[in-house]
Amino acid sequence: MTIKLHHRLLLTGAAGGLGQALRGRLKANCEVLRLSDRVDFGAVQEGEELALADLADAAAVSAAVQGVDAIVHLGGYSVEGPFEPILQANIVGVYNLYEAARQHGVKRVVFASSNHVTGFYRQSQTLTTDMPPRPDGFYGVSKAFGEDLSRFYFDRYGIETACVRIGSSFPEPRDRRMLASWLSYDDLHRLITACLSTPVLGHTIIFGMSNNAVTWWSNEQARHVGYVPQDSSDVFRDAVYARTPAPDLSDPAVQFQGGGFVKAGPFSG
């Protein structure tokens, strides 16, 4: 059930793939949905506001955050790549966001972390949310930084955060790896809704996955969030197996949970 607890929500990264998937869904969570990205992505619709902001621009981020009740932070560099753009968008950018939240009295954030924070654990392991990070690249390192920064802002300033380690959120699983990591768009919305509406969130790490039979992750320590996934990758299993070859068990992308990210780089120039 979606409870409309907040008058105005800020959605960063609104022009990205997940931002577009959530744009219509999150309107059920608020009276006004403020959309932010670094690029202009068209006219706003009823119940929407637009706040263009590069996350590396502290003043622009502060203006985007002013007057909102909670933040769903999807913005940033979303793939593995060279360090400098990741630094600006995901490290400087997340600092600017939390500073703006502190300055404007925003007390709840849903932070889009990533499964790549733990990408160098093996696919034969089942992880709990208190296990140490093992990032699989600069992108994973930046999300681990965001998790630590958000914990600091909770301990020091009382800003509650759900660090959602999003798995693979697409209309359907693309390969055999995603049978474990898949998160449907509707379950992503259910998860964000739970994070926005649970009475006491604190600082919580939670894995973003649907109700998949094959899984590497346990949310037992995040039951207070109240997330109950309704979708499953299992209905796609036969089709995925039919169109994909048997895995090469000597391939690091098959051995480790991060998939191809564990082999990306090095980057130069």
Q: What CATH number is given to the structural domain containing 214?
A: 3.40.50.720
Can 139 be counted among the known catalytic residues? yes
> How much is the pTM?
0.97
- Cα–Cα distance for residue pair 10/48, rounded to 1 Å: 10
Quote the pLDDT of residue 166: 98
On whether residue 207 sits in a domain, the answer given is yes
Number of domains in the chain: 1
- Cα–Cα distance for residue pair 172/113, rounded to 1 Å: 20
Quote the pLDDT of residue 2: 79
On whether residue 67 sits in a domain, the answer given is yes
On whether residue 46 sits in a domain, the answer given is yes
On whether residue 42 sits in a domain, the answer given is yes
Tell me the residue range of the domain where 185 lies. Answer: 6-263
Of 77, 95, 98, 139, the catalytic one is 139
Quote the pLDDT of residue 85: 97
Nearest to 183 by CA among 192, 173, 193: 173
For residue 161, list its beta bridge partners: 109, 203
On whether residue 126 sits in a domain, the answer given is yes
Question: How far, in Å, are 17, 106, 201 from residue 227 at the CA level?
Answer: 22, 23, 12
Nearest to 98 by CA among 143, 165, 152, 30: 152
In order along its 269 residues, the chain shows pLDDT tens digits of 677 889 999 999 999 999 999 999 999 999 999 999 998 888 899 999 999 999 999 999 999 999 999 999 999 999 999 999 999 999 999 999 999 999 999 999 999 999 999 999 999 999 999 999 999 999 999 999 999 999 999 999 999 999 999 999 999 999 999 999 999 999 999 999 999 999 999 999 999 999 999 999 999 999 999 999 999 999 999 999 999 999 999 999 999 999 999 999 888 75
Quote the pLDDT of residue 94: 98
Contact yes or no for 173/206 (Cβ under 8 A): no
On whether residue 1 sits in a domain, the answer given is no
Nearest to 52 by CA among 91, 17, 15, 107: 15
Quote the pLDDT of residue 269: 53
On whether residue 44 sits in a domain, the answer given is yes
Amino acid symbol at 160: E
On whether residue 268 sits in a domain, the answer given is no
Query: Judging by DSSP bridges, how do beta strands 6-12 and 30-36 pair with one another?
Result: parallel
